[in-house]
Amino acid sequence: MILRLLLAAVLSAGIGYQREHAKKPAGLRTHILIGLGASLFTIISIYGFDGNGEPARVAAGVVTGIGFLGAGVIFRGMRGDVPVGLTTAASIWVTAAVGVAAGAGLYLLSVIVAVLSVIVLLIPKMKG
């Protein structure tokens, strides 16, 4: 269980570091906390209820909760009718998914998604 939490923290830190480096509102600490929380909720749902938990329900709850957090990022960044913060909201969402995957023991999947996410975030924004 500790390995799962540590993996979630490290992978989330990678995504968060990129956002922090890009001077975005949700940075390193925020992403680590999101990944850790999602991982812990997943671990609790698998092991915390004597096998009577429903991990799929908890994962759905994480997705819903993170959706509200992402919406807040977008709403806070609105400039008139133009939404700002979509990429940061998406990075929060994918960080939660990485945390859930790590918490579920899907190590390779969580690593691949985190690495791909950082690569995508490093792609320069198109001007136009």
Q: What is the rounded CA–CA span in Å between residue 101 and residue 122? A: 23
Residue 126 has pLDDT above 90, yes or no: no
Residue 38 has pLDDT above 90, yes or no: yes
Q: Is residue 128 part of a domain?
A: no
Whether 19 and 88 have beta carbons less than 8 Å apart is answered as yes
The residue range of the domain holding 22 is 2-122
Q: Is residue 110 part of a domain?
A: yes
- Per residue in 107-116, pLDDT (tens digit) is 999 999 999 9
Show the CA angle centred on residue 45, arms to residues 39 and 50, nearest 5°.
Answer: 135
Q: Is residue 25 part of a domain?
A: yes
Whether 26 and 73 have beta carbons less than 8 Å apart is answered as yes
Most confident among 61-75, 82-96, 112-126 (mean pLDDT):
112-126
Q: Is residue 69 part of a domain?
A: yes
Domain count, the chain: 1
pLDDT range class, residue 128, cuts 50, 70, 90: low
